[in-house]
Amino acid sequence: MGDIFLACKITKIKAREVLDSRGNPTVEVQIFSKDKNASAIVPSGASTGIHEAHELRDGGSRYMGKGVQKALKNVKIIEKSLKGMDACAQKEIDNAMIALDNTENKSRLGANAILGVSMAAARLASECKKMPLYKHIAALYKNKRLLLPVPFCNIINGGKHAGGKLRMQEFMVVPNRAKSFSEAAQLVSETYHILKGIIEKKYGKSAVNVGDEGGFAPPLTKAEEALTLITKAINEAGYEKKISIALDPAASEFYNKNSIYLLHKQFTSEKLAEHYIRLSNKYNIISIEDPFEQDDFSSFSALMKKARFQIVGDDLLVTNTKRIISAAEKRLCNALLLKVNQIGTLTESLAAARLSMDHGWKVMVSHRSGETEDSFISDLASGIGCGQIKLGAPCRSDRTSKYNRLLRIEEELGSKARYARF
């Protein structure tokens, strides 16, 4: 026991500025023990919720104001208080950073500085314990049921991630009837490539350029157009019994102060709810995330009474236990979108997942639109056994790194690997 403690003692913390998938700077943290080191890279959103923890950027002209040198300096401040701590003591590490920051939204040190340390500490601990990260996370979460998650794969990108006229942000395929994660990856990849052919034939070659999450961004205006293309691709692939559809409209992005939702035409919240129900009846939609603006609680609650699909809270909940408690009381949704950088530490992310599961909700671990080669979320989803992960299209290394990590985890687990059902 003493040996393990010594091996996990933090001796040094280093941070550097690296680039994310949009070419913007982000924080990479590397933590050292006597004979080991581990690193982690922080992701970054575009359609960020207003209640998210603070992502610290430098301002000024360097990197158009997006530099993270201030966050790197803050990692040096964090280093002083964490040096000598046990990397395996995730809660103590995260609580020490929360106390040091001492703000509601991590605006002093920056959630990006804090999260980089939190994730890298978990990786170092897993190295020290000589176990894969997903097993270490399972131990932290006290979960005995490792589970390969069903991927939610965004193959048509709209909204802020694409820049066209299609206002809803994400059109996802969900291989919820696959038998394994590897089969799921195959079904999604084949469907993605069939969709590419369909779009190219109808709209020309430039229409298959991809958006921030690797999905296509053809010149569409209505959700129906995207859903028709995707349904055609699923049918042509022959996977209509194995693949369903999910949406993330990210409605905070097309809501205006007069309580109007501006899609291809104007919708009141009541009309928008009817629109979702109609779409879900016509297409095989099993899940809708952020159907309304993040503080439009009455619309969430009204939809919950009518909908048969899963309703996921992203901007609504921002992985924050206070907002989860309030949303559960008001019955606003029945699933948490878990994004580690919305809250800023692994410990608080695990608490958000636990609280959601205790309320009988589902949990979907999620990437951000600005991602990196770091596949931490694949281990996180497998470790907590939540059964769902959102990871973009099976295209571009920032997205495929997550698929590939899950494929390796499945191989490593061998006959013990279990794929979730939805």
Q: Does 314 bind ligand PEP (CB under 6 A)?
A: yes
Hey, what are 206's tokens? 């430039």
User: Is residue 135 part of the contact set for ligand PEP (CB under 6 A)?
Assistant: no
Q: With CB cut-offs between 5 and 8 Å by kind, which of Mg ion, ligand PEP, none does residue 319 bind? A: none
* Residue 280 interaction partner, one of Mg ion, ligand PEP, none, beta carbon < 5-8 Å per kind: none
By beta-carbon proximity to ligand PEP, the closer residue of 132 and 249 is: 249
Binding site for Mg ion (CB under 5 A): 248, 250, 289, 314
| Tokens 């948490």 found at | 336
Q: Does residue 90 belong to the site contacting ligand PEP (CB under 6 A)?
A: no
Which residue of 30, 366, 375, 382 would you call a contact of ligand PEP, by CB under 6 A?
366
Contacting ligand PEP (CB under 6 A), which of 113, 115, 250, 311? Answer: 250
Report the candidate in 395, 57, 398 with the shortest Cα–Cα distance to residue 195: 395
Q: How many residues of this chain interact with ligand PEP, rule: CB under 6 A?
A: 10
Distance, CA of 356 to CA of 358 (rounded, Å) = 5
User: Looking at 310-397, which runs of residues are DSSP E strands?
Assistant: 310-313, 335-338, 362-366, 387-390
In this complex, which beta carbon is closest to ligand PEP, that of residue 210 or of residue 250?
250
CA 118 vs. chain centroid, Å, equals: 17
Catalytic, out of 339, 362, 390, 402: 339
34-73 residues near ligand PEP, rule: CB under 6 A = 45-48
Q: Among the options 55, 190, 213, 293, which is catalytic?
A: 213
Q: Looking at beta carbons only, is 152 or 267 nearer to ligand PEP?
A: 152
Is position 339 annotated as part of the catalytic site?
yes
What is the DSSP code string of 259-281? TEEESSSEE-HHHHHHHHHHHHH
Q: Would you say 39 or 366 has its CB closer to ligand PEP?
A: 366
- Closest by CA position to 296, among listed 246, 330, 335: 330
d(CA 25, CA 421): 37
CA–CA gap between residue 394 and residue 409 (Å, rounded): 17
Measure the CA–CA gap between 120 and 115, rounded to whole angstroms.
8
Residues lying near ligand PEP in the complex (CB under 6 A): 45-48, 248, 250, 314, 366, 368-369
